[in-house]
């Protein structure tokens, strides 16, 4: 009993004096900073739009994320890849009992079929305003071979070892997978894509280009020396004394345009709004610099894309045919007097690329000017940049192809990702039209009642006015047109994300307006006012000021595969420069 009391006394004394005690250390508590919302204006300082040619969503993403892996670059989808994609994977019956098996397509009735990397080169399809509506067949989406199909020649089928069906009008049903359009699938894996993005209206390249610039195809004005008969197949009387563009016609304000078939546009474009706000911007198109001589000896331009203009042969099309680098009717800002650079005047020395330069470039440049500014000793990049590939790399069937297109897209994105501007940049990949390639989704929001609209839009009145219609609705803007790919690449993009928000080409000027112009709209019936937002593809939250998806995903421009090592990435970027 005495020993127990003594032990307790000693323990108490030690507790009081601290002598010989062992105090456990406080555990180290680590906390992850909370993600906080960031405004688009704070996060985004640069928007780059890569605007391709003539691709439907199903043509490039029909079986995403499932690749056959029987040729080309192997593609394996990441675990957790979203399944909320409206394509052949979620609608497998489209591959086995497609509506285009209907007897209305005759001997070319067909299901969708895979085109391998060896068949990257194809003919282009009919993608005219009325023909595309006929293919839609009042929303049944079942007359593509009959209405827009255009088969490969026998020589192309033999050269590419394509299936025999590719030599028929059923070619419109062909699609690529991740073994061919590998880069675009890898960008979707690491950033965000939208599976409900549409052309603003039906029709070919020029309407799609104008949608990008102004969200508007109404307001055509043809010069006194061009007879109406020269453009009558490409415009529609709008019912209010004006005209709406539905076809490919060169811009009046361009020395490279056809002198006998051209028109200009009235009204405003997003470049006008950027100029008024003092925001730097530029449209950069391959071949625009007419002073360069290519390796094949071609230089300058002859009116109407005549043979002898500066041109480049395809790398991947059999026979390596050369196509003109600069295509005037792909340059939307040359249709507007306020933003045109008619003589392709070079930038004024000392004036930054994208800055006001009315005596020089006036915001219209060669894509090489974008690259030179981005890779200079002191790099610069305009706040808004539109990039258009030279003809052989723009993806347009018949003279370009997915592999040449991939080379352009990847080289440009690699340069941007390795630049000091990556952390504040959003890159948007979108297309001007579908080329008539099959897609199974339709989304009509505006109508028209002309003879060219007999297949899907006739019978319902239009709702949107034009620039000169005094608020009255105008004809000729039937749409949405075909569904098109859209991918957003940015350290602020949601990773491996599929957005189902309905969007369109005019969603791009709307996005520019929301970031840089306080959501000011173009007006006069521009689709930008009602276009779906791109913001849903972004994750505008940050910890410690850093974007949530900061690591650049560098790809090989030839294979489209992800480059995994730092040294290999540097080599790829240097090659791209």
Distance CA 315, CA 335 (A): 31
Averaged pLDDT, 348-355: 96
Residue 85 has pLDDT above 50, yes or no: yes
Residue 161 has pLDDT above 70, yes or no: yes
Averaged pLDDT, 213-241: 95
Under DSSP, the state recorded for 25 is P
Give pLDDT, residue 27: 60
Distance CA 387, CA 412 (A): 9
> Who's near 204: CB < 8 A, 6+ residues apart?
127, 128, 129, 247, 248, 432, 433
pLDDT classification of 522: cutoffs 50, 70, 90: very high
Give pLDDT, residue 577: 35
Task: For residue 268, count CB atoms less than 10 angstroms from its CB and return exposed for 0-12, middle for 13-18, buried for 19 or more.
Answer: buried
Question: How far is C-alpha 298 from the geometric centre of its chain's CA atoms?
Answer: 29
Contact (CB, 8 A) for 323 and 404 = no
Residue 359 has pLDDT above 60, yes or no: yes
Distance CA 92, CA 284 (A): 40
What string of DSSP letters covers 79-130?
TT------STTT-THHHHS-GGGSGGGGGG----EE--GGG---PPPP--HH
Give pLDDT, residue 318: 77
* Mean of pLDDT over the chain: 92
Residue 333 has pLDDT above 80, yes or no: yes
Is the CA virtual torsion 51, 52, 57, 60 positive or negative? Answer: negative
pLDDT digits (tens, 9 = 90+) for 471-517: 999 999 999 999 999 999 999 999 999 999 999 999 999 999 999 99
**Minimum mean pLDDT range among 304-313, 511-520, 556-565, 566-575:** 566-575
Averaged pLDDT, 562-573: 60
Give pLDDT, residue 572: 57
pLDDT classification of 533: cutoffs 50, 70, 90: very high
Distance CA 414, CA 418 (A): 6
pLDDT classification of 461: cutoffs 50, 70, 90: very high
Residue 562 has pLDDT above 60, yes or no: yes
Averaged pLDDT, 115-137: 96
Q: Which residues in 53-90 are b (16+ Cβ under 10 Å) and which e?
A: bbbbbbbbbbbbbbbeeeebbebebeeeebeebbbbbe
**Minimum mean pLDDT range among 54-63, 109-118, 307-316, 514-523:** 307-316
H helix and E strand count, the chain: 15, 21
Distance CA 442, CA 360 (A): 43
Give pLDDT, residue 338: 98
| Greater model confidence, 248 or 574 | 248
Averaged pLDDT, 165-172: 97
Residue 571 has pLDDT above 70, yes or no: no
Averaged pLDDT, 363-392: 98
Residue 191 has pLDDT above 50, yes or no: yes
pLDDT classification of 458: cutoffs 50, 70, 90: confident
Contact (CB, 8 A) for 517 and 524 = no
pLDDT digits (tens, 9 = 90+) for 417-450: 999 999 999 999 999 999 999 999 999 999 999 9
**Of 218, 284, 220, the residue nearest 250 (C-alpha):** 220
pLDDT classification of 561: cutoffs 50, 70, 90: very high
Percent share of the chain, pLDDT over 70: 92
Distance CA 35, CA 547 (A): 10
pLDDT classification of 575: cutoffs 50, 70, 90: very low
pLDDT classification of 25: cutoffs 50, 70, 90: low
Q: Backbone phi, then psi, for 372, in 5-degree steps?
A: -65, -40
Averaged pLDDT, 239-254: 97
How is residue 221 written in tokens? 């004005």
pLDDT digits (tens, 9 = 90+) for 272-314: 999 999 999 999 999 999 999 999 999 999 999 998 999 999 9
CATH homologous superfamily for 45-60+182-549? Alkaline Phosphatase, subunit A (3.40.720.10)
Residue 70 has pLDDT above 90, yes or no: yes
Distance CA 131, CA 144 (A): 9
Q: Where are the domains of the chain?
A: 45-60+182-549
């Amino acid at each position: 009993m005495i020993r127990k009391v003594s032990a307790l006394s000693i323990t108490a004394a030690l507790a009081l004096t601290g002598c010989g005690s062992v105090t456990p250390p406080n555990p180290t508590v680590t906390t992850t900073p909370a993600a906080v919302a960031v405004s688009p204006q704070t996060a985004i300082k640069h928007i780059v739009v890569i605007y391709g040619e003539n691709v439907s969503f199903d043509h490039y993403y029909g079986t995403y994320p499932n690749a056959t892996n029987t040729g080309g670059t192997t593609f394996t989808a990441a675990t957790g890849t979203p399944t909320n994609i409206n394509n052949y994977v979620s609608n497998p019956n489209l591959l086995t009992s497609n509506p285009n098996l209907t007897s209305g397509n005759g001997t070319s009735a067909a299901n969708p079929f895979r085109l391998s990397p060896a068949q990257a080169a194809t003919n282009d399809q009919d993608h005219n305003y009325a023909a595309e509506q006929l293919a839609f067949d009042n929303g049944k989406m079942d007359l593509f071979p009959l209405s827009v199909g255009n088969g490969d020649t026998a020589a192309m089928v033999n050269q590419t070892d394509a299936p025999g069906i590719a030599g028929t009008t059923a070619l419109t049903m062909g699609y690529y997978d991740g073994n061919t359009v590998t880069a675009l699938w890898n960008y979707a894996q690491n950033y965000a894509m939208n599976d409900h993005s549409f052309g603003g209206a039906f029709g070919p390249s020029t309407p799609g280009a104008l949608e990008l610039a102004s969200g508007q195809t109404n307001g055509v004005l043809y010069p006194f020396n061009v007879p109406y008969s020269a453009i009558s197949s490409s415009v529609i009387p709008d019912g209010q004394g004006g005209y709406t563009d539905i076809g490919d016609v060169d811009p009046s304000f361009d020395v490279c345009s056809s002198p006998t078939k051209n028109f200009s546009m009235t009204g405003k474009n997003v470049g006008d709004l950027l100029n008024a706000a003092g925001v730097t911007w530029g449209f950069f198109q391959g071949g625009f610099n007419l002073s360069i001589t290519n390796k094949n000896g071609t230089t300058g331009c002859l009116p109407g894309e005549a043979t002898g203009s500066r041109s480049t042969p395809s790398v991947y099309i059999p026979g390596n045919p050369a196509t003109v680098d600069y295509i005037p009717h792909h340059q939307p800002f040359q249709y507007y007097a306020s933003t045109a650079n008619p003589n392709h005047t070079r930038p004024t020395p000392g004036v930054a690329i994208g800055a006001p330069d009315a005596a020089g470039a006036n915001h219209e440049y060669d894509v090489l000017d974008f690259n030179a500014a981005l890779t200079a000793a002191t790099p610069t990049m305009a706040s808004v940049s539109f990039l258009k590939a030279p003809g052989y790399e723009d993806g347009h069937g018949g003279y370009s192809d997915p592999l040449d297109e991939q080379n352009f897209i990847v080289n440009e994105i690699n340069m941007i990702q390795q630049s000091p501007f990556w952390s504040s940049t959003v890159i948007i990949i979108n297309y001007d039209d579908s080329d008539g390639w099959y897609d199974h989704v339709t989304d009509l929001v505006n109508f028209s009642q002309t003879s060219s609209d007999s297949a899907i839009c006739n019978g319902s009145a239009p709702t949107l006015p034009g620039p000169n219609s005094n608020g009255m609705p105008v004809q000729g803007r039937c749409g949405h047109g075909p569904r098109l790919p859209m991918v957003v690449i940015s350290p602020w993009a949601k990773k491996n994300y599929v957005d189902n928000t309905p969007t369109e080409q005019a969603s791009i000027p709307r996005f520019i307006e929301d970031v840089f112009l306080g959501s000011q709209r173009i007006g006069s019936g521009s689709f930008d006012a009602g276009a779906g937002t791109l913001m849903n593809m972004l994750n505008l939250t940050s910890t410690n000021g850093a974007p949530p998806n900061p690591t650049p995903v560098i790809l090989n421009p030839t294979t489209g595969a992800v480059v995994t090592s730092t040294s290999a990435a540097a080599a790829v970027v240097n090659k791209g420069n």
